[in-house]
Structure 1
Amino acid sequence: MAVAAQAKPPSTTSESAQLAQAAVAAGDNKGNAFAVIDKTRARVSVYDANGRLMGSSAVLLGLARGDDSVPGIGERKMADIRPEERTTPAGRFDSEPGRNLQGEDIVWVDYDAAISMHRVRTANKADRRLERLATPSVADNRISYGCINVPATFYDRYIKPALGDTRGVVYVLPETMPAARRFGFLNEAKATH
């Protein structure tokens, strides 16, 4: 039995770890497990309710750079969403388990904007989604309509147990502004140090 995959401790970005520590210290996660999406580095980090890092992985994100969803985008057909509108919104989201139209389990991040976290989809071979996840570059991790695409094994091992069966929290770090503008508890954490 190979254990090499477990031998290496999970890693995360320092900004993600700082946000996780501040969220737990402020009680912002309300005792729930949570995930932090670092859009700049195209990574998800999953934490237990006490802020202990469970695992971290590369992800695919919205094609367009930006931190806000276009108003009403969740009500539009995918074919009507222009490339520059395909953002993964930043902020704090109360997540909940759900199902997509195909019956697959997902984690709703922003239901109104139709943003979810789900296993990477590989139906369109031209997208090369698995290859994009495997490259060391983050430049090619921008391809989705805004959803957070996670490797299937990581989703099954970390996302589903932490967020796929119960409500939780998903924090998405902004890429166009300081994180403290989206997360007030970060200002409080800095003031106490």
Structure 2
Amino acid sequence: MATLLRIDSSAAGDNSKSRQLANEFVDQWLAKNPDGKVVIRDVNANPLPHFTSETLGALFTPAEERSPAQKAIVALGDELIEELEAADVLAISAPIYNFSIPSTLKSYFDYISRAGRTFKYTETGPVGLLSKDAYLFSASGSFLTGSPMDHQLPYLKTFLSFLGLTVKDSFVAGGQSMGEPGVEAFNKAKAEIAAAL
């Protein structure tokens, strides 16, 4: 049975266009994988603590010397990594906030990025240890994708590649605060999703 891990990050709830695109993808994926399982991780509804000196200290403290608080920090990261490792496909929906991703999604990335577990250091540089496909769903109020102000999709692709994930496709609905052009962009992205699977 195939497992799809869906990660949502928009603060707009059901009104989120990036979530709506992900909904379309999940529906298409389930139609082709009727026995498939979808695991949802909503980092907006259940935000993770930011990565701080306490987080770093917990990770670098030997397991047998960790305090209860440090053990809880490491356990949270372990849970997120195990969830990701168990998935066959990853779907990430994210709006563009201030030219990049929501801070809640960045916190998630900080927790799943762990040397020796999701990537390793080698003589020729870091190598990702997660071999699976990922799909991205993005929305923004104006048309930023491909412009010098878009630090979202390039960052997402760079980070996921760092962990060994292959971004198979990205679906973008720009102009969502611009009326008809935004409607057209959203409908175009939905059509692209239908054709991709």
Q: Same fold (TM over 0.5)?
A: no
Q: Bigger radius of gyration, 1 or 2?
A: 2
- Give the structure-2-normalised TM-score: 0.28
The higher relative CO (CA closer than 8 Å, separation ≥ 6) is in 1
Larger strand percent: 1
TM-score, with structure 1 as normaliser: 0.28
